[in-house]
Every structure is written in C-alpha cells, then in structure tokens.
Amino acid sequence: MEYDPTRPKWVQIADVIRHRIASGEYRPLHQLSEVQMEREFGVTRTTVRKATAALREEGLIMTTPGIGSFVAGHHTG
C-alpha cells in the first residue's frame, strides 16, 4: 500500500477497512486479524490498534478481549 505522507498511517488503514466494510468485502462478523493487518499494511501492532480503535468508536467493529475484532452486525453506509 502506498501511504500519503501527509496523513497518519492508522487513519489511512482505517479508511481502507471502512471501505471494505461499506463495499461488503468484509461482511458482518468477519474477523479482523491484527497479525494479518500488520503484514498486509506493513505496520506495527500499535498502528493497527489505533486504526481498530477508531473503527470501534464509529461502531463499525466490535472487539472482544481475548477473542478479537469483528465487523459489527449492522452498519450504515
């Protein structure tokens, strides 16, 4: 992924995930793997967690401690 140097990486990653949810690529209850996201986006776990925290605040994903993060069951485009 090519990053825009003027915007934080975690914001750009959140944008990608948000788009995948809106487009239906990530269906409700799809699990978001932090390890997979680290690899895909070439970033640290901290950066991934900032992105998932933003999406959680928006209500797009839910996180269950010890289990992981999942796309929320219902969302609006």
Per-residue pLDDT of the chain (77 residues; tens, 9 = 90+): 899 999 999 999 999 999 999 999 999 999 999 999 999 999 999 999 999 999 999 999 999 999 999 999 864 54
27, part of any domain: yes
Range of the domain at 13: 9-71
Closest CA to 61 of 51, 49, 72: 72
CATH number at residue 60: 1.10.10.10
d(CA 77, CA 64): 23
pLDDT at residue 74 in the model: 65
Measured distance between the N- and C-terminal CA atoms of the chain, rounded to whole angstroms:
24
Residue 56 burial (C-beta neighbours within 10 Å; 0-12, 13-18, 19+): middle
Assigned domain for 40 exists: yes
- Asked whether residue 77 is domain-assigned, the answer is no
Residue 3 falls inside a structural domain:
no
Q: What is the predicted pLDDT for the residue at 73?
A: 87
In the prediction, which pLDDT does 29 show?
Answer: 96
2: in domain: no
Sign of the torsion formed by the C-alpha atoms of 26, 19, 40 and 53: negative
The total number of structural domains in the chain stands at 1
